Amino acid sequence: MSQEILSKFAQLQTENRNQKQELKRYSQMLLARDEEITKLKKQIDDYQLGEKMVAKNQSYLEAKAQKDIDQVKQNQKLQQRKDNETKTTNRRKK
């Protein structure tokens, strides 16, 4: 009877040891997964920040280009007025 108890005790100790090793392995896998998730989140944040900066820069460039176009149109209008005034002045001189 005591031999059976010792045998069962040894078997339970082995199962216990195997379960502890398995638990440790799963814990390490979870930690590795958490590290990977953190790394991927950081990559996503960096990418989103980059996209935001590109969009902001694009918006700034578009606004600047529109301002330049408006300035060119304004200068053309002023030049036309000046040309018209010059023609009118030349006619008066004749």
Whether the per-residue pLDDT at 36 is higher than 80: the answer is yes
pTM for the full predicted model? 0.54
Rounded mean pLDDT, 59-75: 90
CA distance linking residue 77 with residue 91, whole number of Å = 21
Per-residue pLDDT band for 77 (boundaries 50, 70, 90) equals confident
Q: How far apart are CA 8 and CA 6, in angstroms?
A: 5
Cα(6)–Cα(13) distance, integer angstroms = 10
- Which one, of 78, 56, 59, 77, lies nearest residue 67 by Cα? 59
Closest CA to 48 of 60, 59, 40: 40
Distance CA 32, CA 28 (A): 6
For the chain, give every domain's residue range.
1-94
> How far apart are the C-alpha atoms of 75 and 94, rounded to whole Å?
29
